[in-house]
Structure 1
Amino acid sequence: MIIDFSDAAVTLIVVSLMTGLTRAIPYLLFGGKKEIPETVVYLGNMLPASIMIILVVYCLRNIDFSAFPFGLAEFLSVALVIVVQYLKKNSLLSIILGTACYMLLIRTIF
């Protein structure tokens, strides 16, 4: 499939406008002195944890418990993330160390 310049330009413009619109909608709806609805406050409090749970389940969904290493690298990395998050309360550090632990384990031991 060959894409010419005009198709690429139109696609880029549409994507840019949609990105800008989706980022502007909260300011248009809730900007200024307007009161934020309780539903939006509730979702703002609950969605980050919910999304993280969904991501963890998604990442661990294909673990094969019937073959070596039985998901050991994944569970050790998850345990490290939990411990580091509990001790340091730094999400970025937890993610980096968990990822590094997983990559190190699958490249060297498992």
Structure 2
Amino acid sequence: MSDTRYLIAVAAVCCALTWGLRALPFTALTQLRSSRALQFLSTRMPAGVMVILSLYTLRTLPLTEMRAIAPLAGLAVTVGLHLWRRNASLSVLAGAAVCVTLSSTFFVP
């Protein structure tokens, strides 16, 4: 087989495999849409992921130092705004803005 035909065959196989692997989850998802377990996870996962990420981020935070104020203030704004408005995008964006603003303005090392 010539080099050109071999390269075209390899590219075609790679394209077919990539397309198939990307289409597979959507095919499987159509059958899972009516699943009660998936419906339960779709309502609980966003909050669970945010809690896990927050705990992982704050686990090494030195609570006795001044630099802990910025992340804790950002967390307080995020939780308070989410409880008030029930908008995850708004609360995460506002909490991150508070944390970054406090960190860069007052607590530059």
Answer yes or no: same fold by TM over 0.5: yes
Q: Is the 8 A contact 2:67 2:103 kept in 1?
A: no
Structure 1 runs, 4 residues or longer, greater than 4 Å off = none
Q: Partners of 1:48 and 1:76 in 2: how far apart?
A: 21
Contact 1:82 1:94 in 2 (8 A): yes
Bigger relative CO (Cα 8 Å, ≥ 6 apart) = 2
Partner residue in 1 for 2:89: 92
The CA RMSD measured in Å over matched residues stands at: 3.0
What are the equivalent positions in structure 2 for 1:22-101 lying under 5 Å apart? 24-25=24-25, 27-31=26-30, 36-66=34-64, 68-69=65-66, 71-101=68-98
Report the secondary structure of 2:66's partner residue. coil
Rg larger in structure: 2
CA separation of 1:44 and 1:56: change in aligned 2, threshold 3 A: same
| 8 Å Cα contact 1:30/1:36 also seen in 2 | no
Which ranges of structure 1 fall in alignment gaps of 5 or more residues?
Answer: 1-5
State the partner residue of 1:107.
Answer: 104
TM-score (normalised: structure 1)? 0.66
% identical aligned pairs: 22
- Which consecutive residues of structure 2, in runs of 5 or more, have no partner in the other structure? 1-6
Q: How many residues align?
A: 95
The amino acid across from 2:55 in the alignment is V
- Aligned to 1:86, what secondary structure does the other structure show? helix
